[in-house]
Amino acid sequence: MAAVAVAIVAVSTSAILVRLSEAPSLVKAFYRVLFTTVFLLPFAGRYRHDFGRIQRRDLLIALITGVALAVHFAAWFESLEWTSVAASVTLVQIQPIFVAVGAWAFLDERIGARTIGGILVALVGATILSGASLFGEGVVGADPLLGNMLATVGAVMAAGYVLAGRSLRQRLPLVPYALVVYSAAATALLAFAVADGAALSGYPPREWALFVAMAVGPGLLGHTLINWALKYVESSVVSVSLLGEPVGSAILALLIFTEVPGVATIIGGSIVLVGIFVTARARRT
């Protein structure tokens, strides 16, 4: 559980580091994934036999998983330019809802009454949270509705990342899995950035420090540590623990940016978290 606690604190800094950086969103996302991949490379030698056993079908799944991860980062990082940290991080965390629906639609997994109830509760909360953007009720950001929509796209892509990579993770150790998927994601993000005409160099030292911090903190100490912890801690515990990320990020945004969420964001976000909690627990009982 200590590893999970460290991971939650680490991922809670992700939105803050993204907001602190002044680089284009696609550039931030690219360097976060690239540096995370580079930092994992020293461990690759221990798994060279596992790399050699990767089947063509698994490689295709890894490419799909990596592209989904790339779109997740691209959409979510951009959302932080337009809406509040609290709204963005809460909405991107609804990916368990889309995982449940996707598993039912594409993997023929049964979906029980509690899961449906959790999904409906989360949708009500998301409607309240985003609905406030339509009427300007205490919202934060240049275009909260756009930011909230991008965060939701990020959640959908995160769900695709989970669904596409679930079977692959069962056949591959963590490091080979992460290196293949992260490499695919970095390649996709590089293509997105080049196509968008974003500059990949010429940034001051502060920006490079933030890129590295995104990789070390939320990347290695966050998501990679969570994947490692899943071997030792029940997945239901990890899933519910991840609900601490929106709370931690909102507190940090308040302290660092003096960003105070509106009443609708607090109420809607709280309802969303309750819905995710119910869904995550129901799918593992």
Q: How many domains does the chain have?
A: 1
Contact 3, 182 (CB under 8 A): no
Q: Model confidence at 262, in pLDDT bands (50, 70, 90)? A: confident
Which pLDDT value is given to residue 198? 96
Q: Pick the more confident residue, 28 or 231.
A: 28
Which pLDDT value is given to residue 165? 74
Least confident piece of the model among 32-36, 65-69, 269-273? 269-273
**Res. 278: pLDDT tops 60:** yes
Which pLDDT value is given to residue 75? 97
Phi, psi angle pair for 202, to nearest 5°: 85, 15
Which pLDDT value is given to residue 76? 96
Q: Which domain holds residue 146?
A: 2-282
Mean pLDDT of 189-206: 97
Kindly state the percentage of the chain with pLDDT values over 70.
Answer: 89
How far, in whole angstroms, is CA 163 from its chain's centroid? 14
Q: Model confidence at 182, in pLDDT bands (50, 70, 90)? A: very high
DSSP state of 260: P
| pLDDT per residue as tens digits for the range 47-66 | 888 888 888 888 888 889 99
Contact 231, 51 (CB under 8 A): no
Phi, psi angle pair for 99, to nearest 5°: -65, -45
CA nearest to 20, candidates 256, 222, 241: 256
Mean pLDDT of 81-93: 88
Q: How far apart are CA 16 and CA 192, in angstroms?
A: 23
Mean pLDDT of 23-39: 96
Which pLDDT value is given to residue 284? 56
Measured CA to CA in angstroms, residue 37 lies from 40, 152, 215, 219, 258 at distances of 5, 26, 9, 9, 33
Contact 33, 224 (CB under 8 A): no
| pLDDT per residue as tens digits for the range 118-174 | 888 888 887 777 666 555 555 566 788 899 899 999 999 988 887 877 777 778 888
Which pLDDT value is given to residue 283? 56
Count the neighbouring beta carbons within 10 Å of the beta carbon of residue 91.
30
What are the structure tokens assigned to 163, written together? 């669904």
Across the chain, mean pLDDT equals 84
Burial of 107 by CB count in 10 Å (0-12 exposed, 13-18 middle, 19+ buried)?
exposed
How far, in whole angstroms, is CA 91 from its chain's centroid? 10
**Res. 242: pLDDT tops 80:** no
What separation, in Å, do the N-terminal and C-terminal C-alpha atoms of the chain show?
Answer: 20
**Res. 207: pLDDT tops 80:** yes
Kindly state the percentage of the chain with pLDDT values over 90.
Answer: 34
Which pLDDT value is given to residue 189? 98
**Res. 203: pLDDT tops 60:** yes
